[in-house]
């Protein structure tokens, strides 16, 4: 039992117990302040806290860690019996460490019954810190090693550790905060549990009413949300497929420009698309003014309502479908297409009977993600909804409105979860047990078949006008940053850019005088930290779901999608409730912003990875295992090079969504850690549209550069020979090539 992984994780736990501060510090662990001050207060490790500060309840943590490595060899008997001992002590250590943190707070016992059982205690404890986190990680990994030694996960320690790590992370940062707020849906005004209170909130005419079908003016917000999501998911999937086919399977000359345009909405703060649509199609927009002057058409407010929100959502979420679909389209085996043509199938028959069916996993995943994005969207409905209410805006008004009804917000969140759960299972049923393998260990020496003329013309007819409209909308919106006051004074100026991002040279060097620099650097730094973590966690979870078989795999898969189905406003409030008090007291820190972005955006990496892995023959994994490679070696050397499109999709999406997120972080930002989008919204509220648009344009330029850099760093995926002049040659995923 005393092998290297066991000793290594035991050493990690020892460092957390004997060296590092057990409790959270006022400043960063990377500062030297806690070392200079010595073992005082929260700076002390566990053993000093227990011995010198009277926190004797911490001693069992150290005892259980020592037992993990000392007891199993004494258990004797078979290797299985020793593994059982390791599992028991590691699980007990993890549960006890986490349990004592919840049971004892700053003022003593957090649970009244505990005082009666164990007696009062004279001192409390603050939130857990770095030492406690390392001890918990040590117990979790020792537990996974015990499972592997017992024969679980085919004895692969890396697979066992990955399943345990992802499960605990999702449970802690997704299930725990969501359950914390959703539990309030079943509480009455006095805080007591009541099913009647939930029924009273959930089954109302404002939520489920069908007045619009009987001649009334409005339907319930639940029906509005469902209709909008279905229309949005259908349109986004169709547009995303059209863009992906043009980029990968046509001879279109401006593929790179089209690729940039197709992803432009996703790298835009929520404010810009809504403003551009209003300036173009609003009552005083250019289109309405032109129609009135040219044809005498009376301007209307048609942009506000279902059609306006749908238009904005399709602009916003089509890039997500495109990012998911492009890797799937590239992964369709050219050899299969050539085989169909050898059997005298024309290009249309080949496309409809071979290529399109092999894209089915990507289409289903793109539809699912677009559907969930639509029901959870907050920014577009709040700007363009008018009298058209949806569940996400109702959640927001329940939390921050005059009613301040947390129970109602939680009830609406449960309804959203029901919609997401239904979409999840319908997607699984649609795919069924069919096999979509397109890449095998034999290699691929074919050339991709060009699109049939009819399909090519249809893609052009759908995608190119949409791209042109994208250019017009952005030109309208971003022009506001270069004029004094939009709508009144169109004098050209750079004043707004200087105000936001001014730089001066002073006596002590370069001075960042612009008002937006603090939020800008904070957003860039924390988004850069969150993006690789999100991508790594998403791809790892996708690999576990598609390549491993273990108990609870379906629940594991749904857990990775849970945060995607909850509106950002609910996520933000739930994080405040869950992490504003010990033992996990991280509200107001950079950690909570990084964690929120990682687990909010992880599902796209999961779905993109699953769509790509469904096309890679499992025989590659089996061949690697036959040659003696373990899970980590197979993942690193065989699968990751073939998953580059999915990796790029996860990296790009997680970075740009972290940069442009609003609803989830609006409750979590602080004076020290202000986010770019919250700064923009504050400028909009104050009527400073010029600075808001100038800031948005800077973010757009930055993210275009970052997308190109990510594509270049990740590189390309080679499936076989590709002629440079072949019309079907694909262009790299957002900057690299994936031929």
- Give the pLDDT band of residue 348 (cuts 50, 70, 90): confident
- The yes-or-no verdict on residue 716 having pLDDT over 60 is no
pLDDT cut 70: percent of the chain above it: 89
Q: Which residue has the higher pLDDT, 620 or 103?
A: 103
Q: How many CB atoms lie within 10 A of CB 515?
A: 16
pLDDT tens for 261-308 read: 766 776 777 667 777 787 788 777 778 778 888 887 887 888 889 999
- 411 near 185, Cβ under 8 Å? yes
Structure-token pair, residue 217: 């003016």
Q: Which residue has the higher pLDDT, 176 or 32?
A: 176
Q: How far apart are CA 13 and CA 674, in angstroms?
A: 34
Q: Which residue has the higher pLDDT, 27 or 268?
A: 268
pLDDT of 730 reads: 38
- Give the pLDDT band of residue 351 (cuts 50, 70, 90): confident
Phi, psi of 512 (to 5 degrees): -90, 90
Angle at 536 between CA 531 and CA 538, to 5 degrees: 95
Average pLDDT for 304-313: 91
**Short-list 634, 621, 644, CA closest to 719:** 644
- Give the pLDDT band of residue 148 (cuts 50, 70, 90): very high
Mean of pLDDT over the chain = 83
Q: How far apart are CA 691 and CA 672, in angstroms?
A: 21
pLDDT of 77 reads: 64
pLDDT of 189 reads: 74
- The yes-or-no verdict on residue 196 having pLDDT over 70 is yes
**Short-list 729, 708, 711, CA closest to 719:** 729
Q: How far apart are CA 140 and CA 168, in angstroms?
A: 9
Q: Which residue has the higher pLDDT, 238 or 252?
A: 238
3-state SS, one letter per residue, for 472-502: HHHHHHHHHHHEEECCCEEEECCHHHHHHHC
**Short-list 425, 413, 11, CA closest to 182:** 413
Give the 3-state secondary structure of residue 640: helix
**Which residues have C-beta within 8 Å of that of residue 730, sequence separation ≥ 6?**
247, 248, 249, 326, 329, 330, 448, 737, 738, 739
User: Between the ranges 402-411, 644-653, 697-706, where is the mean pLDDT highest?
Assistant: 697-706
pLDDT tens for 565-593 read: 677 778 888 898 889 888 998 988 999 99
Phi, psi of 233 (to 5 degrees): -65, -40
Cα–Cα distance list, 739 to 344, 420, 607, 655, 730 (Å): 26, 35, 22, 24, 5
- The yes-or-no verdict on residue 720 having pLDDT over 80 is no
pLDDT of 570 reads: 80
- The yes-or-no verdict on residue 631 having pLDDT over 80 is yes
pLDDT of 594 reads: 95
Structure-token pair, residue 203: 């089954």
pLDDT of 49 reads: 92
Average pLDDT for 594-618: 84
- The yes-or-no verdict on residue 512 having pLDDT over 60 is yes
Average pLDDT for 420-449: 66
**Which residues have C-beta within 8 Å of that of residue 539, sequence separation ≥ 6?**
605, 609, 640, 643, 646, 647, 650
Side-chain half-sphere exposure of 101, counting CA atoms within 13 A: 25
Distance of CA 440 to the CA centre of its chain: 30
pLDDT of 718 reads: 53
Give the 3-state secondary structure of residue 297: coil
Strand blocks (E) in 603-679: none
pLDDT of 516 reads: 93
Cα–Cα distance list, 619 to 160, 337, 414 (Å): 21, 21, 41
Structure-token pair, residue 29: 């662990």
Task: Tell me which residue has tokens 């072949």.
Answer: 726
- Give the pLDDT band of residue 31 (cuts 50, 70, 90): low
Average pLDDT for 525-529: 94
- Give the pLDDT band of residue 724 (cuts 50, 70, 90): very low
- 227 near 313, Cβ under 8 Å? no
pLDDT of 686 reads: 78
- Give the pLDDT band of residue 95 (cuts 50, 70, 90): very high
pLDDT of 222 reads: 93
- The yes-or-no verdict on residue 739 having pLDDT over 90 is no
Cα–Cα distance list, 64 to 60, 147, 243 (Å): 6, 18, 57
Burial class (CB in 10 A: 0-12, 13-18, 19+), 35: exposed
Structure-token pair, residue 267: 């790298």
Structure-token pair, residue 706: 């970052």
**Short-list 217, 374, 368, 388, CA closest to 308:** 388
pLDDT tens for 38-59 read: 677 778 899 999 998 889 999 9
- The yes-or-no verdict on residue 103 having pLDDT over 80 is yes
Q: Which residue has the higher pLDDT, 523 or 620?
A: 523
- The yes-or-no verdict on residue 331 having pLDDT over 90 is no
Q: How far apart are CA 8 and CA 17, in angstroms?
A: 14
- 15 near 84, Cβ under 8 Å? no
Q: How far apart are CA 104 and CA 220, in angstroms?
A: 45
Q: Is the pTM of this model over 0.85?
A: no
Pairing mode of beta strands 489-492, 108-109: unpaired
Structure-token pair, residue 582: 């010990």
Average pLDDT for 191-219: 83
Helix 676-685 × helix 689-714 angle, to 10°: 160
pLDDT tens for 154-184 read: 889 999 999 999 999 999 999 999 888 878 8
Phi, psi of 689 (to 5 degrees): -65, -35
- The yes-or-no verdict on residue 441 having pLDDT over 60 is no
- 90 near 139, Cβ under 8 Å? yes
DSSP type of residue 61: H
Q: Which domains does the chain have, with CATH numbers?
A: 4-150 (no CATH), 208-492 (1.10.3720.10), 513-734 (1.10.3720.10)
């Amino acid at each position: 039992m005393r092998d290297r992984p066991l000793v290594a994780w035991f050493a990690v736990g020892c460092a957390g117990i004997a060296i590092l501060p057990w409790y959270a510090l006022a400043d960063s662990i990377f500062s030297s302040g806690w070392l200079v001050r010595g073992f005082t207060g929260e700076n002390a490790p566990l053993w000093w806290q227990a011995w010198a500060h009277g926190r004797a309840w911490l001693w069992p943590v150290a005892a259980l860690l020592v037992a993990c490595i000392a007891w199993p060899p004494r258990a004797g008997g078979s290797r299985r019996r020793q593994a059982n001992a390791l599992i028991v002590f590691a699980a007990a250590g993890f549960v006890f460490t986490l349990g004592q943190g919840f049971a004892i707070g700053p003022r003593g016992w957090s649970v009244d019954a505990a005082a009666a059982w164990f007696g009062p205690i004279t001192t409390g404890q603050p939130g857990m810190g770095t030492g406690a986190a390392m001890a918990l990680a040590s117990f979790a990994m020792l537990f996974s090693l015990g499972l592997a030694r017992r024969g679980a996960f085919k004895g692969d320690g890396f697979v066992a550790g990955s399943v345990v790590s992802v499960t605990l992370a999702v449970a802690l940062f997704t299930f725990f905060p969501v359950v914390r707020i959703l539990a309030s849906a079943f509480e009455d005004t006095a805080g007591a549990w009541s099913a009647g209170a939930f029924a009273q909130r959930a089954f109302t005419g404002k939520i489920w009413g069908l007045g619009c079908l009987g001649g009334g003016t409005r339907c319930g917000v639940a029906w509005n949300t469902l209709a909008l999501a279905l229309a949005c998911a259908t349109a986004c999937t169709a547009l995303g497929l059209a863009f992906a086919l043009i980029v990968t399977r046509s001879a279109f000359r401006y593929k790179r420009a089209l690729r940039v345009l197709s992803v432009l909405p996703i790298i835009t703060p929520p404010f810009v698309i809504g403003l551009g649509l209003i300036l173009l199609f609003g009552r005083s927009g250019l289109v309405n003014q032109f129609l009135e002057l040219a044809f005498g058409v009376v301007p209307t407010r048609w942009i506000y309502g279902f059609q306006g929100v749908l238009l904005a959502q399709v602009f916003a979420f089509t890039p997500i479908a495109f990012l998911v679909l492009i890797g799937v389209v590239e992964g369709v085996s050219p050899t299969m297409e050539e085989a169909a043509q050898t059997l005298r199938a024309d290009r249309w028959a080949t496309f409809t009977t071979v290529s399109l069916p092999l894209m089915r996993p990507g289409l289903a995943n793109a539809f699912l993600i677009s559907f969930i994005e639509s029901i959870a969207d907050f920014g577009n409905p709040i700007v363009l909804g008018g009298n058209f209410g949806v569940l996400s805006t109702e959640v927001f008004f329940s939390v921050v409105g005059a009613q301040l009804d947390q129970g109602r917000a939680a009830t609406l969140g449960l309804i959203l979860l029901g919609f997401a759960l239904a979409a999840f299972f319908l997607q699984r049923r649609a795919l069924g047990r069919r096999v979509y393998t397109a890449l095998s260990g034999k290699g691929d020496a074919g050339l991709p078949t060009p699109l049939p003329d009819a399909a090519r013309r249809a893609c052009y007819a759908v995608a190119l006008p949409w791209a042109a409209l994208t250019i017009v909308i952005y030109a309208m919106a971003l022009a506001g940053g270069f004029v004094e006051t939009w709508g009144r004074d169109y004098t050209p100026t750079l004043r707004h850019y200087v105000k936001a991002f001014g730089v001066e040279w002073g006596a002590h060097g370069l001075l960042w005088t612009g008002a937006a620099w603090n939020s800008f650097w904070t957003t860039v730094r924390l988004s850069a930290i969150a993006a690789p973590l999100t991508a790594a966690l998403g791809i790892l979870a996708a690999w576990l779901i598609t390549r491993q078989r273990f108990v609870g795999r379906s629940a594991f898969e749904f857990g990775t999608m849970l945060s995607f189905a909850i509106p950002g406003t609910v996520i933000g409030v739930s994080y405040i409730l869950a992490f504003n008090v010990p033992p996990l007291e991280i509200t107001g820190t950079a950690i909570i912003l990084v964690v929120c972005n990682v687990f909010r955006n992880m599902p796209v990496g999961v779905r993109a990875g699953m769509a790509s892995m469904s096309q890679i023959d499992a025989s590659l994994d089996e061949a690697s295992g036959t040659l003696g490679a373990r899970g980590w070696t197979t993942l690193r050397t065989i699968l990751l090079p073939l998953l580059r499109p999915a990796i790029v999709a996860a990296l790009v999406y997680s970075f740009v969504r972290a940069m442009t997120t609003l609803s989830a972080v609006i409750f979590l930002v602080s004076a020290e850690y202000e986010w770019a989008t919250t700064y923009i919204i504050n400028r909009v509220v104050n009527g400073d549209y010029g600075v808001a648009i100038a800031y948005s344009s800077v973010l757009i330029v930055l993210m275009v550069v970052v997308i190109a850099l990510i594509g270049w760093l990740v590189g390309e995926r080679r499936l076989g020979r590709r002629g440079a002049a072949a019309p079907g040659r694909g262009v790299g995923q957002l900057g690299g090539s994936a031929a």
